[in-house]
A and B are shown apart, each in its own frame.
Chain A
Amino acid sequence: MGGLYSNATIYSMITKQQVEHVAKLAMLSLSEEEKELYTKQLSSILAYIDQLNEVKTDGIEPMTQPIPTVNVMREDIVKKQYDRQEMLKNSPHEEYGFFRVPKIGE
C-alpha cells in the first residue's frame, strides 16, 4: 500500500487536530506520541479506502444496506420478559435494582 501513495498524500488525509477532535468525542485521552501515530495510521487507512472514489457513481443512489431486503418489521406484541437480576448480572455496580454509574453533570 505504501507504494501506491507518497507520505505527503497519506498525511493530507487527516490532520492531528482532527484526530484530537475524534479522540475527544470518543472520550479518549491520547499522548503526543499516540496522536502522531494515529494521524499517520488513520491517514493510511483513509487513503486506502479513498481508492473507491475512483469509481464513477454519478446518478447512482447511495447504498445504505448491503442486504437487498426492505421492510423487516414485527407486530406490536409483548414477548418474553426478562428477570431483572439476570439483566443486572453483567453490571459492575448495581443498587436498588438500578445500574450504578459514575455521576454525570452537576
Chain B
Amino acid sequence: MAVSPPQTKYEVVIGLEVHAQLKTKTKIFCSCPVDFGSEPNTNVCPVCLGMPGVLPVLNKQVVAYAIKMGLAIGCEITKHCKFDRKQYFYPDLPKNYQISQYDQPICKNGFLMVEDKKIRIQRIHMEEDAGKLVHAGADRLHGSEYSLVDYNRTGTPLIEIVSEPDIRSAEEARDYAMILRSILRYLDVCDGNLEEGSMRCDVNISLRPEGTETYGTRTEIKNVNSFRSVTRAVESEIERQTEILNSGGRIIQETRLFDEATGTTVSMRSKEEAHDYRYFPEPDLVPLEISNKWIEEIRETIPELPNQKKIRYPKDYGLSLDDIKVLTEDRNMAEYYEAVVRMGAIPKKAANWLIGPITAYLKEHKTDIIGCCMTPTQLADLLGFIEKGLVNDNTAKTEIIGEMLSKGTDAEEIIKEKGLAQVSDEGPIRQAVKEILDANPGQVKELKEGKEKVKGFFVGQTMKKMGGKANPAIVNKIIDELIK
C-alpha cells in the first residue's frame, strides 16, 4: 500500500436505543400470557392479532415498571401522557401499526453514570413488541417464496430507553449497556438477556472531525446480540465511516445489520420514505394521568442500586473498586455478599471467596448464586472455621466448597466426615518436619545459607506428608525453629 497523506482525526458520537422486554405475566394490551418457547401462535387472541373491532386495554404493571426504571435513572415522570400509532407495513405487525408513545413519553431527562461520566437519557417510552418471522421456503422448499409468522411475541410489553448522543467510544457504549442491564435486573423489570433478545441494543453512530461541534450523518446498527458485539460493531463501523470520509465520500443515513460471523456491518435496503410513520394519537386508549401518590409508592419498591452500593461498600467493607464492580453487577450476588458479612464473615475474605473460587464454580456448572445450594450462613461458618484455624484455606477450596455449593452440606459435617480438620498440634507437625529435614540434607544446607525459596519446598513436603491438613502457619514456625 502506498503511503497515505496525513488524515483527519475523527471523534465518534454514539447514542443507544435499548429495548427491554418487561417481565409481566401478560401482554401490554391484552390478557394473553407472555411466555417464550411456546408452540407458535398459542399465546394469541383477537386483540394481539389485530382483528376488526377489538379494543386494547393497558396493563397497569407495564406503566409501573416503566416508571420504576425512570425513577432509577433520574428521569422526570410525565404526569399526563398518551399512546400513539406508528404506522408501517410489515407482516410481523398484524394491525399495520404499532402502539407506541411519540411526543409524550412516560419518562424523560434522566442520566446514567458510566465510570465518572454522565450519559444523559433522553426518554423512556412504552410500546408493544412485534411478532417473529420465520423465513421458510428457500431453505426448506427450494424456490418457494413465503414467510411464516408466529405472533406469540406480538404485544409483549417493551420500554425503549433512548440516550442522548453522549457516548464517545466503543467501550463506553458497552459499559453503558451493561450498567443499564444491571439496573433493569436490580429492579426485576427485565431479564436483560441480549442473546435471547429480552434486551436489544440499537447503536447510532456518526463521526466528526476532532474539535468540531456539528454532528455528522449517522447510521443505526441493529442485531447487536451481546456486549462483545456492541464493542465490535462500533469499532467496525468507526473504521468503515473513517475510510469513507477519508476518501472524500459521504455517509448515507441508513440502518445497518451487524454480522456476528464477519464482525462487520452490512446495509439493510435503505428505505428512504419508510421513515414517515405518520404518528397520531391512539384513539382506542384513553390518556394516562400519573399521580404523585403512585410515583411515590413505586419509588418505595426500588432497592439499593449498584451506584449507591459503590459509594457504601468502601465505607462499610473497605473493598477495592474492582471487587465492588464484580460484586455489585448482579443484585443477587451483592445481596448474598452482604448476608455473608452480616453473619460475621470478614468482608475482604468473603469478597475474595465469592469473586474467586465460588464464581469459578458457578461458571463451570452454568448456574448462579441463587441456583447454588449453599446459604450465606454456611459460607460465613466455613470462613469462620478457616479464621480459627480449624481447616486450612487450600483444603477448604479443594475439598469442601464444591460439596457445599452442590449439596448444601454444612462445612462442619464435611470436615468431620472426610477428616479434614487442620492439625495445629505442634507434636505431630514437629515430627513430620524433622523427618523431611533428615531426608533432604542438601536442601537444609541451602536454606541455612539463606536460600529462602527452599523453605517453600519443605512446607510443601510437610503438607504432603500430613495429607494437606497441617496448619501452614505452624509448619512455617517449626521449620524456622529447627533450621536455626
Contact = CB atoms under 8 A, between A and B. Distances in A.
Interface of A: 21, 24-25, 27, 64-65, 67, 69-82, 84, 87-88, 90, 93, 95-105
Interface of B: 24-26, 31-33, 39-46, 49, 51, 57-63, 82, 87, 89-91, 133-138, 145-151, 269, 273-274, 276, 278, 281, 283, 285-289
Given A65-B283, A65-B286, A87-B45, A77 B149 contact: no
Given A64-B287, A87-B49, A77 B58 contact: no
B44 A82 contact: yes
Contacts of B91: 99, 101-102, 104
A102 B26 CA distance: 30
Given A25-B273, A76-B26, A78-B25, A104 B148 contact: no
Given A88-B41, A103-B137, A73 B25 contact: no
Given A84-B41, A98-B150, A103-B135, A78 B26 contact: yes
Contacts of B285: 65, 72
Contacts of B147: 100-104
A25 B96 CA distance: 11
Determine chain A's interface SS by DSSP, over half rule.
loop
A50 to B, nearest CB: 17
Contacts of A76: 24-26, 59-62
A96 B39 CA distance: 10
B273 A79 contact: no
Given A72-B286, A76-B25, A98 B149 contact: yes
A16 to B, nearest CB: 16
Nearest to B145: A103
Given A100-B148, A101-B148, A104-B133, 20 more contacts: A21-B273, A21-B276, A69-B286, A70-B288, A73-B59, A74-B59, A76-B25, A76-B59, A76-B62, A78-B25, A78-B32, A79-B26, A93-B146, A95-B136, A98-B40, A98-B148, A102-B147, A103-B138, A104-B90, A105-B135
Nearest to A73: B60
Contacts of A80: 31, 45
A80 to B, nearest CB: 7
Contacts of B90: 104
A84 B63 CA distance: 29
Given A82-B44, A98-B40, A70 B148 contact: no
A57 to B, nearest CB: 16
Q: What 4 A-B pairs have minimum CB-CB distances, sorted nearest first?
A: A98-B148, A79-B31, A76-B61, A64-B281
A4 B26 CA distance: 53
A100 B26 contact: no
A46 B317 CA distance: 69
Contact of B286 (A25, A71, A74): A71
Contacts of A100: 146-149
A82 B25 contact: no
Contacts of B281: 64-65
13 contacts: A25-B276, A64-B82, A69-B286, A70-B288, A77-B26, A81-B45, A84-B41, A87-B46, A96-B40, A101-B148, A102-B91, A102-B146, A103-B135
Given A72-B57, A73-B58, A102 B32 contact: no
B41 A87 contact: yes
